A = this chain, B = another copy of it.
Amino acid sequence: MKRYQVVGIGNAMVDVLWRAPEGFLERHGVEKGIMEMIDMDRAVELYAAIGAAKEVSGGSAANTIAGIAALGGRTAYVGKVKADQLGEIFAHDLRAQGTVYETPPAPPDHPAQTGRCIVLVTPDGERSMNTYLGVNDFLTPADIDESMMAEAEWIYLEGYRLEGSDCAATFAKAIRAAKTAGGKVSVTLSDPLCVERHRESFRRILKDHADLLFCNRAELLSMYETEDFGAARAAAARDVRMVACTDSGGGAHVLTAGGAVHVPTDPVDVVDATGAGDMFAAGFLWGLCEGRDPETCARMGNAAAGEIISHMGARAEADLTGLFGEKGLLRGRGGPG
């Protein structure tokens, strides 16, 4: 048995969550529903404009890893914070749930700060993310511990990481170490505009390395430069052995050699969509690691995502294992799998 079920690599972020009135986005030039990269000046400007906020640990892959850890999975994470207060909060919140997190922080005199994401949650539950990368941009191949990657059943690569410099080499080192030891590679497309900016890098990862692709509809359409969702899914299935594509309230599509499965979602009042995709990936990956079939994995993904969108913040508040049990997703407790 490998030491880790899933090792995630991504941008380490502290989220600054604020409920924004609908007009705020337009007044401040924020595009709804996507992730935008901002510099420190813009971060300061936006922060000055928002009201009293909540600070919670975030980061897409870190959310996924925290979700798997909350389900009892064996996890590790690689991502760069600074040795400052927000960096300590990020590290604490990951380790507190049992995730191994050993990436050396940038020193206190580093000019950049721990990354943060100003998340504007509008009354419709949609989130618009404004990301200051900070020291994440200084994650290098030297931060990839090959022996850790070799101990991973799955590595999980966050697409957002491609926004940073030196990412191709970092991912390449991780992929090589994991694959050499018989591990598998999963990747998430993260964001349609991120795909737009880094389509060639994504294409290489998908065609050459990925065993499992996570995405949502908008990201997949962007990836394959089409408006035809069915055609995009078919193209993805040709590139990657297993594809798990979410479609908001339209449920999840899982494509494998065994065919395509569509798994609808239960209706949920969306309080805050932040982290829905991350938690879908958490539930799905945990299911895979526990040897469950793709449909059950997707149901687990949907259940975990449903929990996260029912409250503010991208980390689980409810007992996910209990939730899975209630939905009949656990073995020996009336589950079908």
Partner of A51 from the list B47, B55, B97 (CB cut-off 8 Å) is B97
Partner of A56 from the list B19, B54, B57, B94 (CB cut-off 8 Å) is B54
Asked, given contacts A85-B85, A85-B86, A86-B85, whether A96 binds B51 with beta carbons under 8 Å apart, the answer is yes
Number of copies: 2
Q: Count A-side interface residues using an 8 Å CB cutoff.
A: 25
| Chain B residue, CB-CB nearest to A98 | B51
Partner of A85 from the list B53, B84, B313, B317 (CB cut-off 8 Å) is B84
Partner of A50 from the list B19, B66, B84, B96 (CB cut-off 8 Å) is B96
Contact with B along A31-59 (1 / 0, CB 8 A): 00000000000000001101111111100
Give A81 Cβ to nearest chain B Cβ, in Å.
12
Q: Is the CB of A89 within 8 A of B317?
A: no
Chain B residues near A19: list those with CB within 8 A: 317
| A315 in the interface (beta carbon within 8 A) | yes
Chain B residues near A54: list those with CB within 8 A: 54-56, 313
Chain B residues near A315: list those with CB within 8 A: 52
A313 to B53, CA, bound (A): 11
Question: Which of A85, A86, A92, A113 is the most central at the interface, judged by chain B CB atoms within 10 Å of its CB?
Answer: A85
Chain B residues near A57: list those with CB within 8 A: 52
A99 to B47, CA, bound (A): 16
Give A70 Cβ to nearest chain B Cβ, in Å.
9
Give A235 Cβ to nearest chain B Cβ, in Å.
38
Q: Is the CB of A93 within 8 A of B317?
A: no
Q: Is the CB of B84 within 8 A of A52?
A: no
A192 to B337, CA, bound (A): 55
Asked, given contacts A84-B85, A92-B47, whether A97 binds B66 with beta carbons under 8 Å apart, the answer is no
| Chain B residue, CB-CB nearest to A69 | B52
Give A127 Cβ to nearest chain B Cβ, in Å.
16
Give A286 Cβ to nearest chain B Cβ, in Å.
17
Chain B residues near A52: list those with CB within 8 A: 57, 66, 92-94, 96-97, 315
Q: For residues 81 through 113 of chain A, which have their beta carbon under 8 Å from a beta carbon of chain B?
A: 84-86, 89, 92-94, 96-97, 113
Chain B residues near A94: list those with CB within 8 A: 52
Give A322 Cβ to nearest chain B Cβ, in Å.
13
Chain B residues near A48: list those with CB within 8 A: 92
If A51-B93, A52-B93 are given as contacts, then 10 extra A-B residue pairs at C-beta distance below 8 Å, sorted by A number, are A52-B57, A52-B66, A53-B89, A54-B56, A55-B56, A55-B89, A84-B84, A84-B85, A85-B86, A85-B113
